[in-house]
Amino acid sequence: MNLPNLLTLGRLAMAGALIGLLPSAAPFAASGALAVFVLAAATDWLDGRLARGRYGVTTLGQLLDPLADKVLVCAALVSMVEIRLPGSRYPLVPAWIVVLIMAREFLVTGLRILAMKAGRDISAGVWGKHKAVWQMGAIMAMLAGLAIHRDVLPRLAVGADGFARWLTRGAHLLAMWVAVVTVASGVAYAVQHRELLKG
């Protein structure tokens, strides 16, 4: 178990922390969730850099790294489905968007399993990297908005209901765009490796 793999396991643990922090009404829980997610994203960059450099890429790392990324993203999005801000009838992220994103991740994971059985290594392409950047960036933006709403505005004695409505609308638009990019990347991945499905 080398350092990059330990960082990856730490990212899985941070996904669990997100699930605990996001629905919590405790003071600064939303800010804590934002800090945890930013730290997790930093470890994602760091473990990849270390694996490609000093420590080398391992089979365990190739399995754990994409798994940790998917668990982290899904943990954040599923937790946001539970959040309804004051003045809004809708959750911060609609459930159907989360289902679409998770379906894409299951499809790609299945293709990777088929590739392993065929003795092939299929790594993330350009679309997959775009998808990851958009997912991480959108979730950070939503978490930042949630932290402002829950932890900053009440302490400034500023009305937060109007901000909550705009935050929900903005989160929906961001989530829909992320769903489009995510599904498109999954389709591109399936088309690129369609021979695995034919087999």
CATH number of residue 9's parent domain: 1.20.120
Instruction: Give the count of domains, the chain.
Output: 1
The domain of 42 spans 3-198
CA distance 190 to 24: 38
pLDDT for position 160: 67
pTM for this entry: 0.88
Count CB neighbours of 26 within 10 A: 10
- Taking only Cα atoms into account, the Rg of the chain, rounded to an integer number of angstroms, comes to 18
CA distance 9 to 178: 25
**Residue count (the chain):** 199
User: For residues 103 and 109, is the Cβ–Cβ distance under 8 A?
Assistant: no
Q: Which residues of the chain have pLDDT under 70?
A: 121-125, 157-160, 197-199
